[in-house]
Structure 1
Amino acid sequence: MEISWLSIVPVLLTVILAFAAKNVFIALLSGIIAAGIILDVNTGIVFTGLNSIYQVFQDDWAAKSILFCLMIGAFVYVIEASGGVHGMVEYLTEKRKVVKSKIGAQLLAYLLGIFLFIDATSSIVISGVASRPLFDRFDVSREKLAYITDSTSSPIAWLIPFNAAGAFLIAMIGGQVSAGIIDVDPMSVVISAIPFQLYGILSILLVGVVIFTDKHRKKETQWVKLNTGEREVEDYSSEEIFEGDITPNAKNMLIPLALLVGSIFVIMIITGDGNILKGDGSAGIYIGAIITLIVTGIYYIAQGITKTETYMKWVMKGMGNYLGVTMILVLAFAFSDLVSQLGTGEFIASISSNVNPAFVPVMIFIVGAMMSFATGTSAGTVAVLIPIAIPMAAALGVSIPLTLGAIISGSVFGDHCSPISDSTILSSMIAEVHVIDHVKTQMPYALTSAVLASLGFLVFGFII
């Protein structure tokens, strides 16, 4: 399809409806229908939009991610039903007094999000699941939990080159080297670009500032009132009164959590023939979740915590609780594919041509931010921008590491604050808050980091 302004119409419609209707499902479905109509008119093929929904399951990564979310719903439910979460809270607060305050609970989520840099999805899930009961214990808002997990997992995954994102960047830069556009060592360029990932660095630092300055106090005060019983439990919430006399025990949470982390890493090592950097991340999270649920069930049953039939009910109930958000994720994947077919990314990127070399880094950052927010994907934005921005930077004599840092920074912006991003949706799901509430709460901090990053790229553009 010829690139034109029509390609941004579905994106604008989706974003506007998401905030106006406060319903991401309706917004995404409307965007899919609008994008499908435009493609239908231009290709002569009917029902492109609606067909894109089932076609999501033809993509291995998307299908595995969707199933992973359902299984995480089951995982969250069983560790709560078994008394693991309650036991973990008692262990950290009353017995060992490791976490003694609101700040302690937030620092736990913050540090877990940073140290679990191998995979952003795993980082969100593990830090969110481990920290959520402590946030509730100390009356810290769930929106703040979503903000902390989202604002650490996505940026750190791109900052550390020794993971799947790093391998992806090396491959993309390698393509530019093979094409003769630049003559550099791909790994060296990726490492050299780390100090220039201004948005990611600022986002992570800002989370620390927010934790210690407690800027969410107003929101948390509202949450304290709602925690007394006024808050309505979300459709996908795991908060229920479980039947039976379950004794709280931290092991019922720690052992399954360790199993989930360990199985993901082991599977990535196996699929990477001994090299975790070359491992299959989608297989790791998908198969790891299945193994975790099976072994956890055996462990619970062997310990007499539950019976086989009851455990299966827990699993099914947990999956059902997350079905609504999983459907939003399906629509997000479908919409992203349609936006790609429309050429929205290329159209937005085209506005960065023919500019003063000193303004190239900041322009690339802004364009990347617009693209990633519109498409909800960081990897997709990086994939579109590198073949466009790197040749332009090379031709104009702009620093390649600075350019790559601007590309990644812009890409991360949308990935961690767009209402249609899988990271945003997953962070909201794990924290059990509305996606739009998470976006609204996070946006002021994301925009603060974006403005500071823009100023940084502007300065570097003139001095490097």
Structure 2
Amino acid sequence: MKLISERHNHVALFVFVIGLCCALYINKNVEKTWVEQSYIYNIYTSDSGLPAYKYKDQEIVITNSVPYHESLLSQENLNKRQLPPQLEQQWVVDDKQQLTLLKPAFHFSLWSLLPAFITIALCLLTREPITALFSGVVVGAVMLGEYNLTDNVIIPNLAKEGTAAILLLYLWLLGGLLGVWTKTGAAQAFADYMTKHFVRGPRSAKVVTWLLGILFFQGGTMSTVLVGTTVRPLADKASVSHEEMSYIVDSTASPIASVIALNAWPAYIQALIFVPGVAFLATETDRLKFFFSSIPFSFYGILAVVGTLLLSLNITKFSGKRIRAAHHRAATTGELDASNATPLSAKELQHCNVPEDYNPHVLEFFIPLLSLIAIAVVTFIVYGSPQINWAFGSALLLSIFIALGKGMSLVNVVDGFGNGLKGVVVASVILMLAVIIGTISKEIGGGLFLVSQLGTQLPFWLLPVILQLMTMVIAFSTGTSWGTYAIAFPLAMPLAWAICESQGLTNPELFMAVCFATVLNGSVYGDQCSPISDTTILSAMTTGCDLMDHVKSQIAPASLAAGLAAMLWTLTVLVFA
């Protein structure tokens, strides 16, 4: 085993060196291919009589625009350029007086996939995500000519609002909450209570996990963290393998959000799917209606959730050999991790260290948890998006005040909080690097290159599967479904409409709905299975699983669901479009 590990490390080093040499070559010799990116906003007339739109609740007035054919950022003019365009963005007006924001983007053709390829290859070879992610960041930075990695790449990305929010939530709030719950014994008390009243063994523990995943259908990081954090104590007590738990948590979080779409997804995605001249996508209301009418075609989301239900019921036939092996190991030996696993959750969060004079109570878990859920739901209703930091912040403060009110010393509370921070610091570093490499992958245009390879001459019945495969690759390479939506939808939807018109389909709205669903679901699959995705990392972290064990065990059942979905999409357009 040691010799195999050393051989893999040597191969990994060779792969990194080759990747670095390729990055230097690309930076010096490969020309950028510039691509027009268009953004459609809901434009209205402001009080000043000028066109305006809302961005992050702020009114932005459009003071000037130019005809599309005169814009330096139109595709025709970008094709003539060798140097980067001087404008970062420009508002243009087309022949139908539609205002569109143009921004330039570029790609290095197939080379744009190099950082993601290096990262994923090293993850598989070394099973060490920090080294793999950092190597991908280095390769991507060199491709862009950013040799001052600290000042020009890492610090600017860490200083972004979104990255700072991740640090606040997953390092301070989540880590602190888990640490306090461990110190007060609240998590163990919850596990004891659930075991006594609801959980009778591994199957019922997994069913409870699945039901919570359905209940918290907001999707993304919040669902993953909330469900994983809640079920970890009872699942460990019921001897459920960490591979099974991380798969159930991960494969219900985003897939269920695409099926029960009463969340922030429709509002975000509808702005990306406007197609000029398409009546059923003309207004925001039309696009929202189209989104919900497309939900029955979210075959991957439906099949993924059914797959986790089958596993929860101990039906492992469709789960893949790795999950079957993990299930058998936990059932026969009680070992929740493989012998060579390195769980993301540190020792500080795996064992209770309750002071001798302190009596834990299950309400110390339930009250903060109910506060967390209530704030998330109320803020979603009020603001249209759940305020995750408020929710976890309130839960943390409640846990601290309850512990102090029951007589725990401030020293012990702070000790638990500190242990919680230590317990998630490695996972937080992985998240930071994943955010950085996602930003770099987007900047060098891997997704743009993949989408640009499509053409209107494709047979119509082949387009849904090609869009599915393409978004799977983009999301897997960048670790983000929402980022993939921003890349793919503005390109895929006009392409689907062009194929409808050129090939004379009798039911174009259904065909567009299927293509929409393939982009939506393909992105979910890629994000869910990517080792650099925040939801993948958090699923492993909150359930205590080794990251690469989670990735490898999840790919088989997820790919089975994706394959079945591809067949259903193809049959749907062949029969009904």
| TM-score when normalising by structure 2 | 0.73
Q: Which residue of 1 aligns with 2:414?
A: 312
Q: Which residue of 2 aligns with 1:362?
A: 465
Query: 1:455: how far off?
Result: 1.1
State the alpha-carbon separation in 1 of the partners of residues 338 and 490 from structure 2: 53
Q: Which residue of 1 aligns with 2:190?
A: 88
Evaluate the alpha carbon distance shift between residue 148 and residue 59 of structure 1 in structure 2; reply closer, same or farther with a 3 A threshold.
Answer: same
Query: 1:241: how far off?
Result: 4.7
Q: Which residue of 1 aligns with 2:565?
A: 453
Query: 1:33: how far off?
Result: 0.6
In the alignment, which of 275, 298, 313 is matched to residue 401 of structure 2?
Answer: 298
State the alpha-carbon separation in 1 of the partners of residues 483 and 338 from structure 2: 42
Q: Which residue of 2 aligns with 1:171?
A: 271
In the alignment, which of 311, 317, 325 is matched to residue 218 of structure 1?
Answer: 325
Q: Which residue of 2 aligns with 1:190?
A: 291
Q: Which residue of 2 aligns with 1:415?
A: 527
State the alpha-carbon separation in 1 of the partners of residues 150 and 294 from structure 2: 38
1:217-261 Cα distance to aligned partner (Å, 9 max, x none):
531343444369988775634013515224342111111111222
Query: 1:197: how far off?
Result: 1.2
Q: Secondary structure at the match of 2:458?
A: coil
Query: 1:48: how far off?
Result: 5.6
**Code of the aligned partner of 2:482:** A
State the alpha-carbon separation in 1 of the partners of residues 368 and 161 from structure 2: 26
1:368-412 Cα distance to aligned partner (Å, 9 max, x none):
111111111101111111111110111111521111101101100
Counterpart check, 1:109 vs 2:220:
no
**Structure 2 matches for 1:34-433, cutoff 5 A?**
34-40=139-145, 45-47=146-148, 51-70=152-171, 71-94=173-196, 96=197, 98-173=198-273, 176-177=274-275, 179-181=276-278, 183-184=280-281, 185-215=286-316, 216-223=323-330, 224-226=333-335, 236-237=346-347, 238-245=349-356, 246-270=358-382, 272=383, 278-279=384-385, 281=386, 284-304=387-407, 306-353=408-455, 354-397=457-500, 398=508, 399-433=511-545
State the number of aligned residues: 445
CA contact (8 A) 2:219 2:256 kept: no
**Code of the aligned partner of 2:163:** A
**Code of the aligned partner of 2:368:** P
Higher helix share: 1
Q: Which residue of 1 aligns with 2:45?
A: none
Evaluate the alpha carbon distance shift between residue 256 and residue 186 of structure 1 in structure 2; reply closer, same or farther with a 3 A threshold.
Answer: same
**Code of the aligned partner of 1:367:** M
CA contact (8 A) 2:207 2:313 kept: no
State the alpha-carbon separation in 1 of the partners of residues 558 and 338 from structure 2: 31
Q: Which residue of 2 aligns with 1:275?
A: none
**Code of the aligned partner of 2:466:** M
CA contact (8 A) 1:160 1:166 kept: no
Higher relative contact order (Cα pairs below 8 Å, separated by 6+ residues): 1
State the alpha-carbon separation in 1 of the partners of residues 114 and 298 from structure 2: 30
Query: 1:186: how far off?
Result: 0.6
Larger Rg: 2
**Code of the aligned partner of 1:11:** A
**Code of the aligned partner of 1:188:** K
In the alignment, which of 5, 18, 42 is matched to residue 123 of structure 2?
Answer: 18
Query: 1:183: how far off?
Result: 3.9
**Code of the aligned partner of 1:162:** L
Query: 1:90: how far off?
Result: 2.0
Q: Secondary structure at the match of 1:352?
A: coil
Query: 1:128: how far off?
Result: 1.3
State the alpha-carbon separation in 1 of the partners of residues 239 and 560 from structure 2: 26
Q: Secondary structure at the match of 1:13?
A: helix
CA contact (8 A) 2:188 2:352 kept: no
Evaluate the alpha carbon distance shift between residue 47 and residue 412 of structure 1 in structure 2; reply closer, same or farther with a 3 A threshold.
Answer: same
Q: Which residue of 1 aligns with 2:102?
A: none
| TM-score when normalising by structure 1 | 0.90
State the alpha-carbon separation in 1 of the partners of residues 306 and 364 from structure 2: 33
Evaluate the alpha carbon distance shift between residue 193 and residue 300 of structure 1 in structure 2; reply closer, same or farther with a 3 A threshold.
Answer: same
Tell me whether 188-197 or 156-165 shows the greater mean CA deviation: 156-165
State the alpha-carbon separation in 2 of the partners of residues 254 and 158 from structure 1: 28
Query: 1:66: how far off?
Result: 2.5
In structure 1, stretches of 5+ residues that fail to align are 273-277
Query: 1:446: how far off?
Result: 0.8
CA contact (8 A) 2:176 2:417 kept: yes
Query: 1:433: how far off?
Result: 1.4
State the alpha-carbon separation in 2 of the partners of residues 310 and 407 from structure 1: 49
Q: How much identity, in percent, do the aligned residues show?
A: 28
State the alpha-carbon separation in 2 of the partners of residues 164 and 436 from structure 1: 30
**Code of the aligned partner of 1:65:** I
Query: 1:312: how far off?
Result: 1.6
**Code of the aligned partner of 1:380:** G
CA contact (8 A) 1:36 1:50 kept: no
CA contact (8 A) 1:7 1:344 kept: yes
State the alpha-carbon separation in 2 of the partners of residues 233 and 15 from structure 1: 19
Tell me whether 71-80 or 230-239 shows the greater mean CA deviation: 230-239
State the alpha-carbon separation in 1 of the partners of residues 210 and 223 from structure 2: 10
Query: 1:171: how far off?
Result: 2.3
Q: Secondary structure at the match of 1:240?
A: coil
State the alpha-carbon separation in 1 of the partners of residues 159 and 266 from structure 2: 26
CA contact (8 A) 1:345 1:371 kept: yes
CA contact (8 A) 2:476 2:526 kept: yes
Query: 1:336: how far off?
Result: 0.4
1:406-432 Cα distance to aligned partner (Å, 9 max, x none):
110110011111101111001011011
Aligned CA RMSD, in angstroms, stands at 2.2
CA contact (8 A) 2:182 2:416 kept: no
State the alpha-carbon separation in 2 of the partners of residues 50 and 373 from structure 1: 28
**Code of the aligned partner of 1:448:** L
